[in-house]
């Protein structure tokens, strides 16, 4: 395998093994699907696993990681970059979140709710769960989620990733976002929370907290799958 022509997800220091991006996305999708099945949300778990690192297909990220692990040589490869100075600065998590949001937000109010929940998990998988609204005194109430979903393509590399990603990943992602159960299963989970709440009102504090825990459950499915894979 010519590693300079391979999309790399991870590199293991102990033996120099390369995990390709295609392998990683499918591996995380399978694990996240398994974990999310506990709440009958296997499709949702699979989708966020499949797209969580979509932005790693970008040239910017591939040059960075290959420079960092020695697959690009400072003296021989013109693309070589100072990886230490770029650590954490190349956005690879927004692209997948944007793809989900673009696909699901077109499917009415429920699609927007489900799209925001799933996109939030992906956008947050390296930072901890982000706030959707700013609590900062200088920007209180600002739509942080909307700003992230509208982040310019030059920084998220979504269009580049859609061109370069393995067809099996994009075809499966499109299939999942178009499945009726993508919205219906989430609606069932949210409805069940309201039904068993002491006050059966989706705006009650208890229900809102339980909605938040549902988001954190899906988020943890993705994090565990990502770290284990």
pTM for the predicted model, two decimal places: 0.92
Please state, in angstroms and rounded to a whole number, the distance separating the CA atoms of residues 227 and 111.
Answer: 29
Which 8-state DSSP code applies to residue 52? Answer: T
Beta carbons within 8 Å of 122's beta carbon, 6+ residues apart = 48, 51, 52, 93, 96, 97, 100, 222
| Tens of pLDDT, residues 81-130 | 877 777 778 899 999 999 999 999 999 999 999 999 999 999 999 888 88
Structural domains counted in the chain: 1
| Tens of pLDDT, residues 136-194 | 878 888 888 999 999 999 999 999 999 999 999 999 999 999 999 999 999 999 999 99
Range of the domain at 82: 3-228
Q: State the CATH number of the domain containing residue 108.
A: 1.10.3210
């Amino acid at each position: 395998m010519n590693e300079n022509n391979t999309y790399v997800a991870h590199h293991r220091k102990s033996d120099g093994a390369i995990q390709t991006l295609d392998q990683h996305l499918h591996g995380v999708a399978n694990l996240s699907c398994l974990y999310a099945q506990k709440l009958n949300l296997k499709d949702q778990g699979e989708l966020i696993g499949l797209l969580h690192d979509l932005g790693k297909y970008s040239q910017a990220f591939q040059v960075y990681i290959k420079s960092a692990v020695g697959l690009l040589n400072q003296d021989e490869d013109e693309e070589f970059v100072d990886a230490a100075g770029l650590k954490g600065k190349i956005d690879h998590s927004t692209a997948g979140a944007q793809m989900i949001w673009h696909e699901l937000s077109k499917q009415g109010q429920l699609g927007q709710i489900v799209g925001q929940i799933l996109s939030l998990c992906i956008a947050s998988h390296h930072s901890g769960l982000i706030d959707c609204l700013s609590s900062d005194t200088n920007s209180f109430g600002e739509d942080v989620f909307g700003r992230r979903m509208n982040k310019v393509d030059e920084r998220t590399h979504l269009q580049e990733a859609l061109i370069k990603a393995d067809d099996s990943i994009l075809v499966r992602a499109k299939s999942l976002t178009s499945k009726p159960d993508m919205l219906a299963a989430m609606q069932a989970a949210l409805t069940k929370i309201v039904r068993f709440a002491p006050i059966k009102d989706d705006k009650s504090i208890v229900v809102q907290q339980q909605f938040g825990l549902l988001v954190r459950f899906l988020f943890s499915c993705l994090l565990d799958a990502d770290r284990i894979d």
